[in-house]
Structure 1
Amino acid sequence: MTLVLPAVAKEILGDVKKAYEETSKIPDELLLALKFVFGPIVLLALDLVDQRAVTNVTSPSGRKVFQVLGSSGRLYTCYVACLYCPCPAFAFSVLQRNDGLLCKHILATLLSEAMGLCQTAAVSDQQMTEILLEKEED
């Protein structure tokens, strides 16, 4: 999976993965680095990771998306390959104001993957198509 993140963000996520594999925790210096790069959403994203709110959804055809149960109770389908989330915070902070790299849902997905804490769900190709074609509720 190729991510379009700045090199420093990729490096920190790699360090998180390595540290978590070795010690089952994230050292304080890495938490500070995450906060420096991603800002205040780190705490919100880590809360989602702690709640096991991220699910890696796969289908027999090889399609893969992540679904994150947000703190509001809404389920967001995140596309990590292109770093997109349909949440309002992503639209405002990342796309409109350009003052953040990611929303908490995508960061929670990246952290859950790095830490090996994603839930997994296998769905049929038809179910995956329905997930991918899901329309925003008004």
Structure 2
Amino acid sequence: MGSSLLSVAEQLLKALQRTYSETNQIPDDLLIALRFVFGQCALQALGLVDQRSVTCLSSPSGRKAFQVLGGSGHLYTCFTSCHYCPCPAFSFSVLRRIESLMCKHLLAAYLSQAMGLCQQEQVSDQKMTHILSGKTGAST
């Protein structure tokens, strides 16, 4: 995907944030643009946002990660800072086939952040280290 398409996606998310903060809704033209730029995963991502499936984890050191509860019940830890999700769709459609900009989980993280609908959770630096290392089962 070219950098111009990424720029369009970024501008679209900014427009969505601006409009949603003013009206608390997404107008039809922005919904159409989301569907055009992100494909079918836009509707799936909006569904995850509606279900409040996205939680932003923050640590005292300033690290952030997003946990998205997928439709299958699996919890994915996404990173908007490096544009990554560990789900199979991201590996296949984004990294391998280069046919999508992002998966529904990562898009849900961006959308929930833009719409101010992301649940917030503070975690210790130690727990964030476990999350970043993939050891999310550790209790701290």
- TM-score interval w.r.t. the shorter chain? over 0.9
Pairing of 1:79-94 with structure 2 (within 5 A): 79-94=79-94
Percent sequence identity is 61
Pairing of 1:1-138 with structure 2 (within 5 A): 6-134=6-134
Q: Which runs of 5+ in 1 are unaligned?
A: none
Tell me by how many angstroms 1:6 deviates.
1.3
Give CA-to-partner distance per residue, 1:22-48, whole Å, 9 cap, x none.
Answer: 110000000000111001100100000
Q: Which runs of 5+ in 2 are unaligned?
A: none
Tell me by how many angstroms 1:135 deviates.
5.4
SS at match of 1:60: coil
CA distance in 2, matches of 1:90, 1:10: 18
CA distance in 2, matches of 1:62, 1:82: 15
What stretches of structure 1 move > 3 A for 4+ residues in a row? none
Give CA-to-partner distance per residue, 1:57-97, whole Å, 9 cap, x none.
Answer: 00111111111011111110001011100000000000111
Number of residue pairs the alignment of both structures matches = 132
SS at match of 1:6: helix
Letter in 1 for 2:11: E
SS at match of 1:81: coil
Letter in 2 for 1:18: R
CA distance in 2, matches of 1:21, 1:133: 34
CA distance in 2, matches of 1:127, 1:38: 32
